[in-house]
Amino acid sequence: MNCNELRAGQTLVCERCGLELKVVNECTNDSCSVGCTGDMDCCGEPMKLKE
């Protein structure tokens, strides 16, 4: 899950500690993924999309 795949209103959650991050503004820079490859981590594990 790269930053430019996240859409406004989506929420990322850490299943370990319960931290939730909500997307308020989308990343609109297609070349941004060069510097943002990989998952966003919390507690050493990738954060997941909250349904």
**If binding is defined by CB under 5 A, does position 42 make contact with Zn ion?**
yes
Give CA–CA dist 44/51, Å, rounded: 21
Query: Scanning residues 10 to 39, which ones bind Zn ion (CB under 5 A)?
Result: 14, 16-17, 19
Give CA–CA dist 40/42, Å, rounded: 7
Q: Which amino acid is at 11?
A: T
Q: How far is the CB of 37 from Zn ion (least distance, A)?
A: 20
Task: Tell me how far apart the 2 most distant CA atoms of the chain are, in Å.
Answer: 31
Which CB sits closer to Zn ion, 18 or 34?
18
Size of the site for Zn ion (CB under 5 A): 6
Contacting residues toward Zn ion, per CB under 5 A: 14, 16-17, 19, 42-43
